Amino acid sequence: DRVQEAIAEAGIDEGFVFIYVPHSTAAVSIHARLDEGEAPRLERMLDTAYPDRDAPHTTKAAFVAPTEVGIVKGGRMLLGEDQRIYFYEFAGPADRKAYLYIGS
């Protein structure tokens, strides 16, 4: 919702949006909407894939990725009917920033 609001405020009808999370233990992803019980399941899957306890937060964040790019059409970011933008915090809670670049 915040990304869509920022696009509306920018007044861009067609273009792109670049989302960047500048933290080594946080990430952003676009995927199908998760039910409340699915978010912990994703965390367990990442724990299984990356069991190293020395740097699990940075590894998970790198796997999910710190960036996403989307297309803006009709003043909104195009997402599939069931898609959402998710912010992942792997070592928090903590104060975090996400940067948006909206261009045409």
User: Would you state the pLDDT for residue 67?
Assistant: 98
CATH number where 88 lies: 2.60.120.460
pLDDT of residue 43: 74
Give pLDDT tens digits for 69-100.
999 999 999 999 999 999 989 888 999 999 99
pTM of the model: 0.85
Domain carrying residue 36: 2-103
What is the DSSP code (8-state) at residue 29? E
Rounded to whole angstroms, the maximal C-alpha distance in the chain is 46
pLDDT in tens, 9-67: 999 999 999 999 999 999 999 988 877 777 667 777 777 877 776 568 888 898 889 99
Q: What is the pLDDT of residue 53?
A: 65
How many domains in the chain? 1
Strand pairing of 14-20 and 67-73?
A: antiparallel
